[in-house]
């Protein structure tokens, strides 16, 4: 009887936690613990998507907002632009996101310049072409990626 009670209580707690994570406003998380933000984005967007965005955050960070939105749309076409912005902002705000266990062969790469400003004149870089899906080759075969071309404004 005690075991059944514990089971019911655990189930109740987990249902309540899930509900709390679902109603958490991910646009207002500046003062929320990163652990909570991580749990909430996983509940909202699923673990696989959060990991795939986390892997390419360094590339997404340097892109102008319009190009970044295009790339996020390619990565997760079913997510609205607003949710895509929220997802990126939450994942980008997490410190030291653990390196996921993806191997080179299933890692999706976003190829972007290493900086968001021109190295000659310090102007912001802007879109040159729309981001395109590409195949790229490495030691263990080939993978899919997205190539972003920027130019000096
Ligand atoms: Zn320049």
Kindly give the distance from the C-alpha atom of residue 109 to the centroid of ligand 1, in angstroms, as a whole number.
26
- Does residue 117 sit in helix, strand or coil? strand
Distance 61 CA to ligand 1 centre (A): 19
Render pLDDT for 93-135 as a digit per residue (tens, 0 to 9). Answer: 987 666 554 555 556 789 999 899 999 999 999 999 999 999 9
Dist CA 91 CA 106 (whole Å): 20
What's the CA-to-centroid distance between 148 and ligand 1, angstroms? Answer: 17
Residue 71 CB: number of other CB atoms within 10 A? 23
Angstrom distances, CA of residue 96 to CA of 1, 15, 40, 43: 44, 29, 17, 20
Full-model pTM: 0.77
Q: At a CB cut-off of 8 Å and minimum separation 6, what does 36 contact?
A: 21, 24, 29
Q: Give every residue of the chain whose pLDDT is below 70, as ranges.
A: 96-107
């Amino acid at each position: 009887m005690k075991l059944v009670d514990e089971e019911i209580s655990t189930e109740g707690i987990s249902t309540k936690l899930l509900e709390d994570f679902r109603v958490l406003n991910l646009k207002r998380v500046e003062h929320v613990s990163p652990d909570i933000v991580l749990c909430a984005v996983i509940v909202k967007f699923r673990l696989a998507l959060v990991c795939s965005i986390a892997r390419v955050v360094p590339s997404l960070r340097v892109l102008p907002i319009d190009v970044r939105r295009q790339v996020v749309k390619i990565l997760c076409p079913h997510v609205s632009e607003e949710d895509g912005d929220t997802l990126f902002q939450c994942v980008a705000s997490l410190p030291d996101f653990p390196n996921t266990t993806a191997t080179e062969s299933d890692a999706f790469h976003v190829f972007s310049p290493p900086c968001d400003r021109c190295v000659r004149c310090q102007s912001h870089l802007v879109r040159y072409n729309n981001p395109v899906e590409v195949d790229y080759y490495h030691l263990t075969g080939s993978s899919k990626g997205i190539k972003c071309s920027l130019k000096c404004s």
